[in-house]
A and B are shown apart, each in its own frame.
Chain A
Amino acid sequence: MKQITDFRIVERLQLGEHYFMLKVQHPDTMQPIQPGQFVEVEVKDSREVMLRRPISIHDVDAMANTMSLLIQIVGNGTRKLAELKVGDKLNIIYPLGNGFSVEGKRPLLVGGGAGTAPLLHLAKCYNEKGVRPVILLGGRTADLIPVKEPFAQYGELLIATDDGSMGEKGMVTQHSRFADDYDHIATCGPTPMMKAVARHAKEKGIACEVSLENMMACGIGACLCCVQDTQEGHKCVCKDGPVFDPLTLNNWM
């Protein structure tokens, strides 16, 4: 069931210049959360921001009733959220969207930028099924891959950077291990990256899931603003997604 709840910020980490992480705690018992689901957070006291902002659920600790949000500062809303401190309240609507399927025995998870966010909880969920995924993260520079080490706990971590400052030099799709024999690929990140990954999966006949980030107003399927053109007509990314099989999307790849 979806909830609107005042969470409390219990931890705040600045991750380089552009990213920060908030760990927030539910006042009571948190709802179960599927990997790939997201929240809509309220941005308080902003002259510019009226609507909530959709943010993926990065990590979940059901025992502690906490979840973590990994946020990239890109505009007014995220800049305002960056001012939040430990102890502050954060009003959140959650859990939203469908989530990843957690399928495959040899999965590859590909993330870029803020799109690495949902992959940590996803990697954990694979572990719960006894599967260790290969996790391939990319960015222009090492600094622009906000979270790296925590992933190594849950799978084999590979890095690709455009400038070669960490891991292999080049894009994720150029990484020497990208074309290995996987049976499932899940990806989240910049659209050109997801498209390249999805095209590769299609060529190899590998099942693939992409997580879209369309602009949203409500996040709960009420406004029909966030639609994606699919074989079954316009679908709401907030309710029918954000995770889609790219083969079902029209004019996307």
Chain B
Amino acid sequence: MLETKIHNLTLKNPVMTASGTFGYGEEFADFIDLNRLGGIVVKGTTGERRQGNAYPRMAETPSGMLNAVGLQNVGVDTFCEKVYDRIKDLDTNVIVNVSGSSIEEYCTVAEKINALENIPAIELNISCPNVKKGGMGFGTNPDMAAQVVSEVRKVYDKTLIVKLTPNVTSVVDIAKAVEQAGADSVSLINTMLGMAIDVERQRPYLSTITGGLSGPCVKPVAVRMVWQVAHAVQIPVIGLGGITCAADALEFLMAGAKAVEVGTANFMDPTVTIKIIEGLEDYCKRHKINDINEIIGII
């Protein structure tokens, strides 16, 4: 009933977790059966181990939060040698979010992940607002976005998802450019660049001054962008941004997403993904829908 496809990937349901909000999945194993998820997108992984930005890295804002984690991660080699073994036997799609500061770094990471049998896809993060070099730079210019995708395409032969930033004037132009360059799917949105000031202390809340906004407050923007992109490209679209319940997920599906990712909501309720899956099942029953694909892109 809930099965969907993203290129060569079969998802038992359209609910995945968003990179950077779900660790390597293990952090949630006490709370939910990870095997019930459609997919898990693990933490952004770079060529070398990264320390990320200085504390404080988080500020709560109305119906959302700003983060400036800055891609803290163990690096691709430690991921392959240590982390992979712990998560490779999960009965779900484990997808690695690949980040970098240069085209070479993206390619090195992608090539190493390509060799891991049980990682069926990568999500190329060309949209992180929290790193000084690269990151969002690649995702805000159609030519550069196309360039990094076509280079990665040469070394990566499984499902290549490209994650897009909302911090652009035309997300459709970027989506078309990465489709042309060989992406198998696009996911959107990453966080929106934002800022908050502690007026009592008269300084910004984040050590980096600006950071990435996520949570329910970004959802209408994300739904709009997913709808625009879904109408402009042929490849499957994955929608995310502010999803906290089945109705939110359905908005993205109706706007044209073949699957969704849940991010910040995992912090509020570590069992939220399962509730969303059950909510989708319930919705299909109530509306006599046999196959969730019937409602994908109906708007």
Interface residues of A (CB under 8 A from B): 1-4, 42, 47-52, 93, 214-229, 233-234, 239
| A223 cross-chain contacts in B, Cβ below 8 A | 20-21, 58, 67, 69, 267
Checking A50, A214, A234 against B268 with a beta-carbon cut-off of 8 angstroms, the contacting residue is A50
Residues of A with C-beta under 8 A to B23: 221-222
Contacts of A1 in B (CB 8 A): 30
| B 192-232 contacts with A by CB, 8 A | 215-216
Tell me if B's interface is mostly helix, strand, loop or mixed.
Answer: loop
Which B residues are within 8 Å of any A CB, using their own CB?
20-23, 27-28, 30-31, 51-52, 54-60, 62-65, 67, 69, 72, 215-216, 264, 266-271
Establish whether residues A218 and B267, one from each chain, have CB atoms under 8 Å apart when the complex forms: yes
Provide 8 A-B residue pairs closer than 8 Å at the C-beta atoms, listed in order of the A residue.
Answer: A1-B30, A220-B27, A220-B270, A222-B23, A223-B20, A225-B58, A229-B55, A234-B51
**Cα separation A47 to B61 with both chains bound (whole Å):** 11
A224 in contact with B69 (CB, 8 Å): yes
Seed contacts A219-B267, A222-B28; 16 additional CB < 8 Å A-B pairs: A4-B269, A48-B62, A51-B60, A217-B65, A217-B267, A218-B21, A218-B267, A222-B266, A223-B21, A223-B58, A224-B20, A226-B58, A227-B55, A227-B72, A228-B55, A229-B55
Please determine whether B31 and A225 come into contact, CB atoms closer than 8 angstroms: no
Shortest beta-carbon distance, B153 to chain A, in Å? 30
Determine if A3 and B30 form an interchain contact, defined as CB atoms under 8 angstroms apart: yes
Q: How far is the CB of B33 from chain A (nearest CB, A)?
A: 14
A36 vs B252: C-alpha distance when bound (angstroms): 42
Known: A228-B55, A234-B52. A52 touches B60 (CB 8 A): no
Bound state CA distance, A4 and B268, in angstroms? 11
In the complex, the answer to whether A217 meets B58 with C-beta atoms within 8 Å is yes
Are B30 and A222 within 8 A (Cβ)?
no
What's the least CB distance linking A192 to chain B, in Å? Answer: 15
Once the chains are docked, how many angstroms separate the CA of A215 from the CA of B69?
Answer: 13
CA A219 to CA B264, docked complex, whole Å: 13
Q: How far is the CA of A84 from the CA of B269 in the complex (A)?
A: 20
Main secondary structure of the interface of A (DSSP, over half): loop
Known interface pairs A50-B268, A51-B268; A222-B57 also in contact (CB < 8 Å): no
Q: How far is the CA of A42 from the CA of B268 in the complex (A)?
A: 8
Q: Which chain A positions have C-beta within 8 A of B62?
A: 47-48
Q: Can you name the residue of chain A whose Cβ is closest to the Cβ of B61?
A: A50
Given A4-B269, A50-B60, CB of A227 within 8 Å of CB of B52: yes
Q: Which chain B residues lie closer than 8 Å to A93 at the CB level?
A: 270
Q: Which residue on chain B has the smallest CB distance to residue A218? A: B267
B57 to chain A: closest residue by CB = A225
Q: How far is the CA of A220 from the CA of B269 in the complex (A)?
A: 11
Pick the most buried of A218, A222, A226: most chain B CB atoms within 10 A of its CB: A222
Nearest 6 interchain pairs by C-beta: A225-B58, A222-B23, A2-B30, A218-B267, A222-B27, A221-B27
Contact residue among A50, A225, A233 (Cβ-Cβ distance under 8 Å from B67): A225
Which one of B27, B55, B215, B264 contacts A214 once the chains associate, using CB atoms below 8 Å?
Answer: B55
Contact call A215/B268, Cβ cutoff below 8 A: no
Closest chain A residue to B27 by CB distance? A222
Report the Cα distance A228→B52, complex, angstroms: 12
Pairwise interchain contact A222-B267, C-beta atoms closer than 8 A: yes
Partner of B52, one of A4, A218, A224: A224
Query: Contacts of B266 on A, CB cut-off 8 Å?
Result: 218, 222
Identity of the chain B residue whose Cβ is nearest the Cβ of A3 in the assembled complex: B30
Taking the closest CB of chain B, its distance from the CB of A210, in whole angstroms, is 16
A50 and B63 contacting across the interface, CB-CB below 8 Å: yes
Distance of A19 from chain B, by nearest CB (Å) = 21
Q: How far is the CA of A222 from the CA of B31 in the complex (A)?
A: 13
B21 vs chain A, min Cβ distance (A): 6
Docked CA distance A215–B28 (Å): 20
Complex: A93 Cα to B72 Cα, angstroms: 25
- CB of A50 within 8 A of CB of B215, answer yes
User: Do A222 and B69 contact each other (CB < 8 Å), given the known contacts A50-B60, A50-B215, A214-B55?
Assistant: no
A93 to B266, CA, bound (A): 12
* Interchain nearest-CB distance for B73 vs A (Å): 9
Give CA–CA (A38, B254) in the complex, Å.
41
- The distance from the CB of A148 to the nearest CB of chain B, in whole angstroms, is 30
Contacts of A216 in B (CB 8 A): 58
Which residue of the partner chain, among B30, B67, B216, contacts A217 with CB atoms under 8 Å?
A: B67
